[in-house]
Amino acid sequence: GAVVSQHPSWVICKSGTSVKIECRSLDFQATTMFWYRQFPKQSLMLMATSNEGSKATYEQGVEKDKFLINHASLTLSTLTVTSAHPEDSSFYICSASRYGILNTEAFFGQGTRLTVV
Amino acid sequence: EDQVTQSPEALRLQEGESSSLNCSYTVSGLRGLFWYRQDPGKGPEFLFTLYSAGEEKEKERLKATLTKKESFLHITAPKPEDSATYLCAVQARSSNTGKLIFGQGTTLQVKP
């Protein structure tokens, strides 16, 4: 299957600092990528839809100024958690969809464990 | 409102004991239904996409089926390495972004 690479796998940062997470589609072009947040033993919560060359679309309740999303190319989207606080500690996952003539497949990155201390 | 409900929340099986996981959905026009496997601390791993009622797909011990209201993930003679959380998600035809709506998942534990 297709590969979506997410970096870093884990990061620990001090409260008040910013953290950038990268998501790359390695073997296909992704016009649209998605960012999710996952709490322990819960399902994925969509945070925003990242569109190449345009502004991201955020889900209700997600702070745009805290979670900055940039989709600079067809293979790279970044999520920056600004002025991080302990409550931002979570597992963040990106995904990218590959559209074919007959089918659509959505692939996920490995996830990033963010711990804010 | 588009919605996905998975059952059971947790399932414990003995090695070799076949069973099924359920995914019930309501969506305003289904474009696709997706099954994923997620291991602790990792991102979901793509298993199947189903597009229309009556469709079936298989991969090793897993078989996914689809009706107009639900999907089943059948696990035949499971092994301990099949232990994971299985996620179901739907994509609505009305979505121009390909957004997925996820269920809460079923955590499967297979004991040797």
Q: How far apart are the first and last CA of chain B?
A: 41
Q: Name chain A contacts of B93, Cβ cutoff 8 Å.
A: none
* A115 inside 8 A of chain B by CB: no
The pLDDT tens digits for B63-108 are 999 999 999 999 999 999 999 999 999 998 887 777 899 999 999 9
Share of chain B above pLDDT 90, in %: 87
Taking CB atoms and an 8 Å cut-off, how many pairs form between chains A and B? Answer: 61
Q: How many angstroms separate the CA atoms of B93 and A44, rounded?
A: 21
For B110, the token pair is: 């297979």
Q: How far is B19 from chain A (nearest CA, A)?
A: 22
Residues B19-47, mean pLDDT to the nearest whole number: 94
The predicted pLDDT at position A103 comes to 64
Give the one of B46, B102, B105 whose C-beta lies nearest to A107's C-beta: B46
Asked if pLDDT for residue A74 goes beyond 90, the answer is no
Q: Is A58 on the interface with B (CB under 8 A)?
A: no
| Nearest-Cα residue of chain B relative to residue A32 | B97
- Average pLDDT of chain A is 91
At residue A101, the pLDDT reads 56
Residues 6+ apart with CB under 8 A from B45: A108, B36, B37, B38, B39
What is the per-residue pLDDT for B95?
Answer: 79
Bridge-based pairing of strands B3-7 and A104-108 is unpaired
DSSP 8-state code for residue B80: G
Confidence of residue A51 (pLDDT cuts 50, 70, 90): confident
Q: What is the pLDDT of residue A54?
A: 83
- A37 touching B, CB under 8 A? no
- Per-residue pLDDT at A77: 93
Cis amide bond preceding A8, omega within 30: yes
A1 vs B96, more confident: B96
**CB proximity list for A60: less than 8 A, separation 6 or greater:** none
Q: CB distance A43–B98 less than 8 Å?
A: no
Distance, in Å, from the CA atom of B5 to the CA atom of A41, rounded to the nearest integer, reads 15
pLDDT bracket for residue A99 (50, 70, 90): confident
